Amino acid sequence: MARRIAAGAAYGGGSVGLLGAAAVGVLLAEVQLAKRLVGGGVAPVPPSADGRYGVAFAGPSDPLRLGLLGDSTAAGQGVRRAGQTPGALLASGLAAVSERPVDLRNAAQPGARSDDLERQVSLLLADPSGAPDVCVIMIGANDVTHRIPATQSVRCLTTAVRRLRTAGAEVVVGTCPDLGTIEPVYQPLRWLARRVSRQLAAAQTIGSVEQGGRTVSLGDLLGPEFEANPRELFGPDNYHPSAEGYATAAMAMLPTLCAVLGLWPESDHLDGARREDMLPVAKAASQAAREAGTEVTGARAPWALLKHRRRRRLPAATEPHPHPRPGAHGEAPGEAGGSTRVDRRPGTDTGTSPRTA
């Protein structure tokens, strides 16, 4: 199914039907119930996290430029401090590993769907300081909830990845999360949400890898934590993650972000104990969609590497440090942030609990 969606995105075609007409009435009733329950609270406006991180590492080298694109998850909706957003967490971690300052530019927009990526990419590439060195894209949830045709969604994402790669930026895509983990969603809508989310995530992986990007499956990454501590891992609106939820997602993406920049040595050795493998890209995408935290990166077509990188401890959360930059967008005053040095030895497992962040 994911291959059909990706092929439809590449060569044209409509959406792929998933359900028979007999289920429509039940699902519409479930959707209305979920809308009343999900988002019952009020999520704060995401704080601006744009600015410079790791100023303690200032030196002769130019700062790394990190761009974030996507929806409310990429923007950090649900938390009140800039240092708690995914962009700030990733920028701080990247600064600590690279021992260089990192300039963060976040173009993500709450409520955005994949068709907004064209605008966001244009915004980043128009920055006078130049194209980002690496971009992180987190998109897909709103495409599912607004029933955007999967082929259209994937087509918009692959176009964005291609534009960024053409501009010289590395790209890491956090694929569509598993919406079946949202607490107020009941069966059969929960089953449908999980199925559609995973199919879209797999199709996003195929399209992104074929354009030279890497993907990290967010999937049900927070599922066990949501189940055990729903009030702790959900934000105040019962939909967006809390600060600890975002830290969990950032811990999963940071190793891939560092690897794509060559900050950790890449190895051709695949760890069988960690279920790493080389598979056809469609099979790798399908397997990654079922297991959160899985990285897929292209090898020789049509093959892809399936990796389960060890998660790294995040440095202490820092606020953005404002700095003069022509055309800067959304910079807000903050503390003069530095970053805590982290252990960069390959193979060091520092645990997966967000409480270690």
Is 240 tagged catalytic?
yes
* CA distances, 177 to each of 85, 154, 220, 329 (Å): 17, 15, 6, 28
Catalytic residue among 72, 98, 208, 339: 72
**Residue 34: partners with Cβ closer than 8 Å, 6 or more residues away:** 182, 184, 185, 186, 189
Q: Is 186 left (phi over 0), alpha (psi -120 to 50) or beta?
A: beta
Catalytic residue among 115, 129, 237, 353: 237
Beta strand pairing status for 64-70 and 102-106? Answer: parallel
At residue 236, the 3 state secondary structure works out as coil
At residue 186, the 3 state secondary structure works out as coil
Catalytic residue among 92, 127, 217, 240: 240
**Residue 310: partners with Cβ closer than 8 Å, 6 or more residues away:** 255, 347, 348, 349, 350
* CA distances, 181 to each of 152, 233, 267 (Å): 24, 11, 34
Is 308 tagged catalytic?
no
Is 122 tagged catalytic?
no
- And the tokens for 10? 């590449």
| Cα–Cα distance, 107 to 92 (Å, whole number) | 18
Question: Looking at the annotation, which residues are catalytic?
Answer: 72, 237, 240
